[in-house]
Amino acid sequence: MDKVIKASSAGDVTLYKALIYEMPRIELEDYAEYYVEEIGAYVFIWSYVYNRRTERGASDARNHKDVRNSLPKEILQGEQYDLMFDIDESGKYLHDRYGTPNHIKNYILKEFQRGAVNLDF
């Protein structure tokens, strides 16, 4: 009997995105859990599914703009960095769009590698 593999799930890989706002802690009780003292920033991390066979992500996956648009203006005033745990033929790697400082990149890469998320959509 042949093994049946659903085309929609074959090749699926869980990847991660992060939106970081480097700034001092502010008095926003609803966002206190997102502040990371270690790097002095508000950190928002979420996962998404990418299919290596089709080279596409899920059409309903949240992007950086979706998350940014849901944040209060007080947090948006911080220095913004967008990071992704991306994939290519050599494997997973950290994709940095804006020249993120090393202490932030190192922290986020560690979180990506352990599968940490703090936003659940």
Q: Which residue has the tokens 């940095």?
A: 96
pLDDT of residue 4: 38
Q: Which residue has the tokens 């991660």?
A: 16
Q: DSSP assignment, residue 34?
A: G
Q: What is the pLDDT along the chain (121 residues), one digit of tens a residue?
A: 444 344 456 778 888 999 999 999 999 999 999 999 999 999 999 998 887 777 666 656 778 899 999 999 999 999 999 999 888 778 888 999 889 999 999 999 999 999 999 997 5
The CA distance from 100 to 29, in Å, is 26
pLDDT of residue 97: 81
Name residue 96's amino acid: D
